[in-house]
Structure 1
């Protein structure tokens, strides 16, 4: 099979491994950056929950709840329930890192309220993405067993839905951070010397989405190289 030499899969080493290393570095970077700036407390004494509430109010949003959940960096906005869920390390904390993360999640709520198209597209394709992730590998294996290029291509296309999801997710996350940082400045949530620390925290988080997209693209390209050229008998 093209891509294999003497039983060695060069595509994985050349394409996927560097992206996995990037993803591991990005995850380490966001954890270390968050930890670093979690030790820097805002002089205004605003908590993460309060900061998120400020962002919502400034955008005229009054129907979104803010709740506390266990864990670290488990923060997210759930549009179906209309609730921002902030982790223990963010909800009560007055650190610049926590304020940045909380405002980012509020930024997602603002995206929905303002009709930001990419986040609605992302939400719409989630069921297709889940189905594609579950079916892509079985179809690829079935395509190999039956020597069917059509099945292999269909499996690759389904996997491509995951890549499409990552592609849409990246600008959504960047936009949420931009909204968060703009609100932090406009509302004076942080002092001028504290603002860059929140920005660095959100930039580190954005890099994890860049890495996730790179991994998905590399895996998709690998599948195309390995299976896209197969021919039906």
Structure 2
């Protein structure tokens, strides 16, 4: 289990390096129609009949996200202002999340519902487990059990995220082609950027599941 966890962490490092390298490569490829990420996101929203989602610039690199609570699509500056193939892929992907929200896509609604629990779980799990391991009494085992349950909640959130991200990327690719934002020679570059980003979510899910299984194994031995 420990070796598998190490391998999964190596996969995570590879995925992070891959997404950065792939994005940087296609960030230097200008789309032939000259659209920026912000323009594409705005037009896609309008074409989908969505008029209550705002498109805003946000600081940082690859900090792009859609906030369903405020109906705000935030694009990093390198995506917002850029006419690159990479920028259009990222902008379309985040627009895909906005469309998911608008049509009531089930996994997205479930992820939003689960977020508060998962957020609390990610913060409380390890402190509870650590404190519980300091005690040999029943209360210590109970704290470990609660900590593992909290961690499991964060793992479930990570797994729910996968179909949400895959679907947003699929929507993005379809819209970029159907609405003629990219031609056939440019679509493959956009797909590569989105596939590289998807791999980071897959790697994170694998690491989370293996960590949970390892904690369960350790807890089982302690409780015997």
TM-score bin, normalised by smaller chain: over 0.9
- Contact 1:55–1:180 (CA under 8 A) maintained in structure 2: no
TM-score by length of 2: 0.94
Match of 1:118 in 2: 107
How far apart, CA to CA, are the structure 1 residues paired with 2:94 and 2:49?
16
Match of 1:221 in 2: 213
1:77 and 2:69 correspond: no
Residue 225 of structure 1: how far off its partner (Å): 1.1
SS at match of 1:72: coil
How far apart, CA to CA, are the structure 1 residues paired with 2:62 and 2:207?
21
Match of 1:58 in 2: 47
Structure richer in helix, relative to its length? 2
1:95-148: CA deviation from partner (whole Å, max 9, x where unpaired): 110000000000000000000011111111111112112222232223323323
1:162 and 2:154 correspond: yes
Residue 155 of structure 1: how far off its partner (Å): 1.5
2:197 corresponds, among 197, 205, 208, to 205
Extract unaligned runs of 5+ from structure 1.
Answer: 1-10
1:180-207: CA deviation from partner (whole Å, max 9, x where unpaired): 1111111011011001110111010000
2:30 corresponds, among 38, 41, 62, to 41
TM-score by length of 1: 0.91
Residue 70 of structure 1: how far off its partner (Å): 1.7
What is the alpha-carbon root mean square deviation over aligned residues? 1.3
Residue 151 of structure 1: how far off its partner (Å): 2.9
How far apart, CA to CA, are the structure 2 residues paired with 1:81 and 1:141?
36
SS at match of 1:39: coil
Extract unaligned runs of 5+ from structure 2.
Answer: none
Aligned length: 221
